[in-house]
Amino acid sequence: MADGISSFWGPVTSTIECCEINYAYSSYIAEFYNTISNVPGILLALIGLVNALRQRFEKRFSILHISNMILAIGSMLYHATLQHVQQQSDETPMVWEILLYMYILYSPDWHYRSTMPTFLFLYGAAFAIVHAYLRFGIGFKVHYVILCLLCIPRMYKYYIHTEDTAAKRIAKWYVATILVGSICWFCDRVFCKTISQWPVNPQGHALWHVFMSFNSYCANTFLMFCRAQQRGWNPKVKYFLGVLPYVKIEKPKTQ
């Protein structure tokens, strides 16, 4: 939306602006709420990373949590500046992250171990180079949605083969957060003119960030539980401060 006060970063060069007045609170932060709403994503990813390292989960999960943090930081840079270069720091990690999810979901049954990570790495690198020079616009969204849809069948398979009630509840929270978050994102994009006339802007895109922070955490936690089951680590769902779920494992002494 139109600037509120003078900007430190100069004219907007990004291809997307959200339904929030630019530089309303600071000349250094273009979209204030869309910037600070990424903080929960960083904190939740840090909690997940500490748990993965402390219990010596496979490195893929540590990398996954780190990728969540990189995405949140990239999103903060993008919404704080609304510059095209920083937009890449938001969108490119989104693709890298979903490719990592695809690896974690499909690799247990992939017989040629080196081919999948090699292909996904090359695909992610090629996308980053092409996306740096071309502004895909709607093409990026379609591409990202397709990658997400490819994950759904495998995620559903994991769900139906999981008997633990607490783990299934985490999967349900994963679905609920992405649905509610998507509604917030959609309303912010489609009904911005109407929302701008309200006494209070609900900041739909910022809410999308918050819901997706919990969505990523739930996805990671559920996948850690499923992987621990596959490895025979006797996983159990525990709760940090009685609220935030995490996976507690008991590895055999031989491991």
Q: Does 20 belong to an annotated binding site?
A: yes
Q: Where are the beta strands (DSSP E) in the chain?
A: 236-240, 244-248
- Predicted confidence band at 81 (pLDDT cuts at 50, 70, 90)? very high
Annotated binding residue 201: no
Domain boundaries, the chain: 32-250
Fold that domain 32-250 belongs to in CATH: Rhopdopsin 7-helix transmembrane proteins (1.20.1070)
Q: Summarize pLDDT for 120-139 with one digit per residue, the tens.
A: 999 999 999 998 888 777 88
Check the annotation: does 161 bind a ligand: no
How confident is the model at residue 126, as a pLDDT?
94
pTM of the model: 0.92
> What number is the average pLDDT over the span 154-174?
95
Distance (Å, whole) CA 82 – CA 24? 14
pLDDT averaged over every residue in the chain: 92
Name the phi and psi angles at 26, rounded to 5: -155, 145
Residue 215, annotated as binding a ligand: no
Q: What's the rounded Cα separation, in Å, for the pair 58 and 51?
A: 11
Condensed to tens digits (0 to 9), the pLDDT of residues 199-248 reads: 999 999 999 999 999 999 999 999 999 999 999 999 999 999 889 999 99
Q: What is the pLDDT of residue 209?
A: 98
Lowest-confidence range among 3-17, 58-72, 152-166, 184-198? 3-17
